[in-house]
Structure 1
Amino acid sequence: MELWPGAWTVLLLLLLLLLFLLPTLWFCSPSAKYFFKMAFYNGWILFLAVLAIPVCAVRGRNVENMKILRLMLLHIKYLYGIRVEVRGAHHFPPSQPYVVVSNHQSSLDLLGMMEVLPGRCVPIAKRELLWAGSAGLACWLAGVIFIDRKRTGDAISVMSEVAQTLLTQDVRVWVFPEGTRNHNGSMLPFKRGAFHLAVQAQVPIVPIVMSSYQDFYCKKERRFTSGRCQVRVLPPVPTEGLTPDDVPALADKVRHSMLTIFREISSDGRGGGDYLKKPGGVGEARL
């Protein structure tokens, strides 16, 4: 079907109106800027995943493919003017499996993770991510471990297999023990799966803390600007000789140390700024 001449005029006018409105919204509406930035962030990751898939497919499903994803994602922080500072990277054990546990604030955690991700380390993610288009396939090819959190029996079975993989294939895993994103500037209670995994495999736990994003990002306020994020790698916590009965105390100990560091690096002018003074901020968190 051909468009009559007047229709082309209408389409041209609509296009010109759109070209006028987008810059206007960008400069005049912080909320619109937030949505534009998040849409581009997610869309760009999906596009990069499309590029990564054929490269990763050469090896098939392999944890070494995570290096390819990391290389392709490292530049994103520059697009958004986010400076990521890493401290304590020397705490990573040099030549053994371990379990990384990290706080979970938003999808922007990907930036800090890629900055510090050690070799042969893959995240444990919710199974829904597997169906996230090109990103899900790229993650699968990179060896990401998917768990159905709604089916406890399956999750326990997967964790048991992961424990064996840690030891036999020299793999490290990255877990967000809060279980879900926390936008409130503190830390949710930790789920214990990561700690059971470390105890079962008798491997160390390496806590990693990312400072609050509140000086440059807030989902509730629809605010996304440039800023700084500090990533702190803490000394490994040994699990040799521990049993499942020790897991609750172990999880509480690790959470306490991480929350202490979170408060420190989120109030030193490099992470959270004055957010700690706000009601419901980190300063009001309770263990």
Structure 2
Amino acid sequence: MENTGGGSFLRNRRLESFLHTNSVPNVRETRKNSGKEVAVQRPLKDVYVDDDGWISALISCVRIVTCFVVMMVTTFIWALIMLVLLPWPYQRVRQGNIYGHVTGRLMMWILGNPVKIEGTEFSNKRAIYISNHASPIDIFLIMWLTPTGTVGIAKKEIIWYPLFGQLYVLANHLRIDRSNPAAAIQSMKEAVNAVIKNKLSLIIFPEGTRSKNGRLLPFKKGFVHLALQSRLPIVPMVLTGTHLAWRKGSLHVRPAPITVRYLPPISTDDWTADKIDDHIKMVHDIYVENLPESQKPIISEAPRNSSRS
């Protein structure tokens, strides 16, 4: 695992040795040839090759089934722990994070994608963590890499997801009613009150849904409302390559390299409610600057004003 800082990060991630760190397909070098400088490409040993053969598909199916079985086992074990801890809500939050660290890490190890993590010096702050979302793998990474004491925010219907949804509720994570903007804003206020009272961090996908093609979607206003009410800084987590590793609508997981980059915290102390759209655009632009060309939004997907939260 490549780590750019944060000793405590390593102490919390005991299985780092299973990951490979190189996620760049080639390196550009300059060599002299007959007195002239010539640019050449030097391939690295873990170049990603998109293999659609039946052997690759079979291995992928085995990995996905293994992930499902392992996740069901760990979910069942932690559900029992949560039931014992019903009188202690904050301990359930912590146990939910430990479940995520263990299960998310196991999922990534089983899938076998090389993962590179950058900016870990920003990974243990109390903050609102946000992330782009283009693949089921994003969920595993977020479970694994968000710090202990972090709660997620999901739509209230998550309770109907078998086992995982019930564990989500038992872990005292937050749900919002997205049936209408007024209900969503009220749910956000209740979520912020719980976060402030218990000194928690938050994790949210500001796009509100998963991108179909890996390109960044417009951001909704929810994360800004959370910031305005909590005054927590925002730590962007930029995920690249996950849309290639597990494409939407596919059951074929490919060995594409993945990068998770924590960006420096964005202070929200001077944010105001009359500039919500400006705040959204500023954060969205930061993502655009830090994503590869293949994940940047096309013109029609540029941020636009929305009345939805």
Whether TM exceeds 0.5 here: the answer is yes
Alignment match, 1:132? 161
Aligned to 1:89: 120
The equivalent residue for 1:63 is 93
CA distance in 2, matches of 1:283, 1:213: 14
1:266 matched residue in structure 2: none
Residue deviations 1:207-251, cap 9 Å, x none? 111112244332356531223211111111111132111221111
Provide TM-score, normalisation by structure 2. Answer: 0.71
- Tell me: CA distance 1:49–1:220, structure 2 relative to 1, closer, same or farther (3 Å): closer
Conserved in 2, the CA contact under 8 Å of 1:86 and 1:116? no
Aligned-residue offset at 1:80: 1.2
Return the alpha-carbon distance in structure 1 between the equivalents of residues 123 and 250 of structure 2: 36
- Per-residue deviation at 1:99? 1.2
| Alignment match of 1:52 (pick from 66, 78, 92) | 78
The structural deviation recorded for 1:67 is: 2.9
1:246 alignment partner in structure 2: 275
Q: Which runs of 5+ in 2 are unaligned?
A: 1-51, 303-309
Q: Is 2:262 the counterpart of 1:223?
A: no
**Partner Cα distance (2:253, 2:124) in 1:** 35
Residue from 291, 296, 302 that aligns with 1:262: 291
Check whether the contact 1:91–1:236 (CA below 8 A) recurs between aligned residues: yes
Aligned to 1:11: none
Post-superposition Cα deviations, 1:133-156, rounded to whole Å, max 9, x if no partner, equal 211111112222112222332221
Q: Please say if 1:174 is aligned against 2:187.
A: no
Counting only pairs closer than 5 Å after superposition, residues 82-161 of structure 1 correspond to structure 2 as 82-92=113-123, 94=125, 97-161=126-190
Give the deviation of 1:169 after TM superposition: 1.2
Letter in 2 for 1:239: T
- What letter is aligned with 2:75? A
Unmatched runs of 5 consecutive residues or more in structure 1? 1-25, 264-275
Deviation sequence 1:246-266 (CA, Å, 0-9, x none): 221111111111122122xxx
TM-score normalised according to structure 1 size: 0.76
Deviation at 1:284, TM superposition (A): 6.1
Secondary structure of the residue aligned to 1:236 is coil
Distance 1:195 1:216 in 2: 30
> Following the alignment from structure 1 to structure 2, what is the Cα–Cα distance between the partners of residues 282 and 228?
15
Amino acid at match of 1:90: E
Q: Distance in 1 between matches of 2:205 and 2:128?
A: 10
Distance 1:214 1:198 in 2: 28
Shift of 1:33: 6.0
**Quick check: which one's helix share is greater?**
1
- Answer with 141-150 or 84-93: which moved more: 84-93
Cα distance between partner residues in 2 of 1:227 and 1:116: 19
Distance 2:258 2:173 in 1: 25
Residue-pair matches, total: 244
Q: Deviations over 1:49-89 (max 9, x none)?
A: 11210112222243112233124312111111122222112
Distance change in 2, residues 1:29/1:220 (3 Å): farther
- Establish whether residue 41 from structure 1 lines up as the match of residue 72 from structure 2: no
SS of the residue corresponding to residue 75 of structure 1 reads helix
